[in-house]
Structure 1
Amino acid sequence: MRVLNNATYTTKQAAINILCEEFKKNNHIDAELYKYFDVKRGLRNADGTGVLAGLTLICNVHGYVVNEGEKEPIEGELIYRGNNIKNIVKDCVDNKRYGYEETVYLLLFGVLPSKQELEYFKNVLAMYRDLPEGFIEDIILKTPSKNIMNKMASSVLSLYTYDDYADNTSIEQELRKAIEIIAKMPTIMVNAYHAKCKKYDGKSLVIHPIKPEESFAQSILSTLRYDRQYTEEEARLLDMMLILHAEHGGGNNSTFTCRTLTSSGTDAYSAYAGAIGSLKGPRHGGANIKVMEMLGYIEKGVKDWNDEEEVADFLRRIIRKEEGDKSGLIYGMGHAVYTKSDPRAVILKQNAMKLAEGTDFEAQFKLLETVERLTPAIFAELKGDTKVISANVDMYSGLVYKMLGIPEELFTPLFAVSRIAGWAAHRMEEILTGGRIIRPGYKAVTKEKKYIPLSER
């Protein structure tokens, strides 16, 4: 007799628990079948490379070379429209200027703007920063969310209602929507955060007006902080974060989600909201929060942060699932493409350490450096895994945000604020060059059964 027969329950959750047991019994797939049918789980080849699903002009994420059929590790490179990210960041740092708006222009239009073109583009973005009349009150303040990513996704979907051409997918309308949503994302994020603080944290509601003359990074800090005060060093560091997170190829989960939704012919708001939902996941954009959580475990569990052997012992216990969140993962280490290095992590660490020196954050940065240095050898020791691994951008981004006084619940939303530029570029490229709905196959492994009438079950 099945568990559902004559089942009794007293609460809704008890009813779901009973149904859940029934679900589990009938939804198991033997892992060996994936090998038998050569299924590329996660759209990954056996060597870890991604299944080739399309062509793009937008970005190249280069982390290895294939020599006579075998992957060889190399130093990682991130190329935006043919421009190495190292050169983009270096020029901004050397000249002490903000570069995210220029990066958005590059990703959308495929070329670096002239001074006149950049100034014009900045003015256009500034025109679109404000939200529609009544939007903050009706969409954000009346239904605040504990999770800012969810509120951002629902807010982007709500913008559909305010657009008379929401379903028009011409390039002219798509470009207008892209620019508008890129410009509005920081405004949505900050107001969603302030609404959350008022509703759930008992804080006063503060909504600052937009200053159109401020850069994206300046405006975020200005509207986020109650006193609107920030230093240029802080704003330029945040600007660097926005540049580094703006794009990462068509194969990352959120961008592929955006392209998949786009291929169905759906509207821009649905595609971008879907990408936000993807980025929220801890295996994707939410990883920097997990790094900070792991750092907290290490700080409490290691008495002397400068004792590398003590740190190493704690890392071994994490991998054995004895410490931390018991997942066995060292967060911030390893990447699907990069091998020897993640250029974003290298750039971020170099520049952030300069601001951390002499502050309370310096010791934490050095502790993360120790984790980065020790982890590869410990993995090889405990798991026999000699694959070359390095720190990814999440290893240091959370601590940089913390150093800027940005609350943890905004770590991943800031990622979305930046990455919307890449999503927009890929959506329009998919519209122009895709031509087919994205539809991978799934092998059915259940056998046909004789139907049993209800009266006989």
Structure 2
Amino acid sequence: MDIEFDVKHGLEGVAVAISSISYVDGEKGELVYRGFKIEDLIENSTFEETSYLIWFGSLPNENELDFITTMLAKKRELPEEIVKMMNSFPKTSHPMEVLRSVVSLLGMFEKKDKSTFENAINLTAKIPTIIAYWYRIKNNLPLIHPRESLKHSENFLYMMFGSVPEHSSLFDKALILHAEQGMNASTFASTVTASTLSDIYSIITTAIGTLKGPLHGGANEKVLDMLEEIGNLENVEFYINDLINRKEKIMGFGHRIYKTYDPRAKILKNWIKDIFINKKIKYFEIALKVEEIVLNKFKEKKIYPNVDFYSGILYNYFGIPKDFFTPIFAMARIVGWTAHAMEYCKNNRIFRPKAIYNGPKNLKYKDVKGAE
């Protein structure tokens, strides 16, 4: 007699861990880090301070903030051997491929006796350098080495472009927005790796590989592809209708958890709108029109913009190429990934889900050599 099982494809709605790191209310459109609403953190915090909060569970005092800021600043530079290897990579390599490979390489160069937290700091400090160095190498530009005097976000923009642009504080806030989001695909994948008691470099390589997918972190790049293809306001309605008729996904819309407007998308949209008052932002008007049409067509299905829909427009404003959008996502989410890995391992149990077998069971072996 066949036994029936309740299979949850994609593990939707299945709890796999108990966590105090973040909370998402999909019905109300709320995101909370360690008890603090994201809107409050965006208004008052910095990426360094929020990172401390996510890692340790409370806001830092002055000495603790100085400690975390100093540690992140001092650990930015890459080993010379790795920089030499990066110079030998094919220039056609996608930045996410480079990031995944270099994080894995770092595991061979770093001391193995460090605590998980020390390694988390080390990777959080070095990921912006990996991204910025690859941008410079890919474009045949001389490397700009990190400056300890600059904030985490400012230093990244400085290493990319040689200066800290106007509205750089928004980039810092965008990192806060992307730092944590519960048990999403990349966090779950990295937590599975952590549950085997593997090293932090393997854990984060897993996370980066998962984030790379176009249905996860890679969606922000695909949004800009879509806006570029649309080209101008007059094409929006035809383009979106065509996607709907072909039953193709409209990138940047819908979320597994949020059944209302993603609060991160709302925040990003308002930032861009404020800049737009005084300076024209490429693709913003097209994006607003896309949102208007999609919301109108899917009123009943509760499909709203997610964080990917507007983040690419902001990054594009800073001059960041679209193939670097997802690495920047990783640059922020490294905090959440490492926090979940450390939290889960405090009460560790290796993940071992089951699959329901539905193949044949009574096949007879036939020697191929003896077949005529």
TM-score bracket for this pair, using the shorter chain length: over 0.9
Q: Is the 8 A contact 1:144 1:195 kept in 2?
A: no
Contact 2:272 2:281 in 1 (8 A): no
Match of 2:163 among 212, 226, 229: 229
Asked whether the equivalents of residues 130 and 187 of structure 1 are also in contact (C-alpha less than 8 Å), the reply is: yes
Residues 251-272 of structure 1: per-residue CA shift (max 9 Å, x gap): x111001100111121111110
Separation (CA, whole Å) in 2 of partners of 1:119 and 1:88: 18
* Secondary structure at the counterpart of residue 60 of structure 1: strand
Q: TM-score, normalised by structure 1?
A: 0.77
Q: Do the aligned partners of residues 188 and 144 (structure 1) sit closer, same or farther apart at CA in structure 2, a change above 3 Å counting?
A: farther
Distance (Å, rounded) in 2 between the aligned partners of 1:437 and 1:424: 17
Does residue 291 of structure 2 align to residue 366 of structure 1? no
Distance, in Å, in 1 between the alignment partners of 2:273 and 2:66 is: 31
- What is the distance in 1 between the residues matched to 2:260 and 2:202? 37
1:190 to 2:104 alignment:
no
Q: 1:81 — aligned with what?
A: 34
Q: Is the 8 A contact 1:144 1:192 kept in 2?
A: no
**Residue 114 in 1 paired to residue 61 in 2?**
yes
1:147 deviates by 0.9
Q: Which of 312, 334, 358 is 1:445 aligned to? A: 358
Letter in 1 for 2:174: M
1:54-133 matches, within 5 Å, as 54-64=17-27, 75-92=28-45, 99-133=46-80
Deviations 1:333-353 (A, max 9, x none): 110001111110111111121
The yes-or-no answer on 1:247 pairing with 2:189 is no
Matched, 1:181 2:114: no
Aligned 8 A contact 1:153 1:277 in 2: yes
Residues 125, 179 of structure 1: 8 Å contact kept: yes
C-alpha distance in 1 between matches for 2:271 and 2:96: 28
Are the aligned partners of 1:237 and 1:352 in contact in 2 as well (CA < 8 Å)? no
Equivalent pair of 2:73/2:152 in contact (CA under 8 Å) = no
- The whole-number CA distance in structure 1 between the counterparts of 2:115 and 2:164 is 36
- Between the aligned partners of 2:298 and 2:109, the Cα distance in structure 1 is 52
Residue 318 (structure 2) aligned to one of 404, 407, 416? 404
Deviations 1:309-332 (A, max 9, x none): x744432212112xxxxx611111
CA–CA distance in 1 between the matches of 2:353 and 2:301? Answer: 29
User: 1:37 deviation in Å?
Assistant: 4.8
> d(CA) in 2 for partners of 1:41 and 1:416?
26
How much has 1:387 moved relative to structure 2?
2.2
The residue aligned with 1:293 is 225
Q: Hey, what does 1:20 align to over in structure 2?
A: none
Structure 1 CA distance for aligned equivalents of residues 49 and 311 of structure 2: 21
The structure whose Rg is larger is: 1
Q: How far has the Cα of 1:231 moved from its partner?
A: 3.1
Normalised to the residue count of structure 2, the TM-score between the two structures is 0.93
Higher normalized contact order (CA 8 Å, seq sep 6+, divided by chain length)? 2
Structure 1 CA distance for aligned equivalents of residues 75 and 239 of structure 2: 49
Distance 2:323 2:146 in 1: 22
Q: Secondary structure at the residue paired with 2:26?
A: strand
CA distance in 2, matches of 1:256, 1:349: 28
CA distance in 2, matches of 1:409, 1:298: 19
Give the letter aligned to residue 294 of structure 2. Answer: T
2:346 counterpart SS class: helix
Alignment pair present for 1:276 and 2:208: yes
Q: Give structure 2 stretches of 5+ with no counterpart.
A: none
Question: Quick one: distance in 1 between partners of 2:251 and 2:88?
Answer: 36
For 2:29, what is the secondary structure of its paired residue? strand
Deviation, structure 1 residue 113:
0.8
Pairwise CA distance, 1:432: 0.9
Match of 2:86 in 1: 140
Q: Please list the CA deviations of residues 187-213 of structure 1 after superposition, one character each: whole Å capped at 9, or x if unmatched.
A: 111112222223xxxxxx311121101
RMSD: 1.9
Offset of residue 217 of structure 1: 1.3
1:40 match: 8
Structure 1 residue 153 and structure 2 residue 103: aligned? no
Counterpart Cα distance in 2 of 1:444 and 1:193: 46
The alignment status of 1:318 with 2:243, answered yes or no, reads yes
Structure 1 match to 2:327 = 413
Moved over 4 A (4+): none
The equivalent position to 1:219 in structure 2, one of 150, 155, 173, is: 155
Tell me how far 1:379 sits from its aligned partner: 3.6
How far 1:371 sits from its partner (Å)? 1.7
| Conserved? CA contact 2:17–2:344, under 8 Å | no
Amino acid corresponding to residue 116 of structure 1 in structure 2: N
CA contact (8 A) 1:263 1:438 kept: yes
Name the SS of the counterpart of 1:361 in structure 2: coil
Q: How many residue pairs are counted as aligned between the two chains?
A: 367
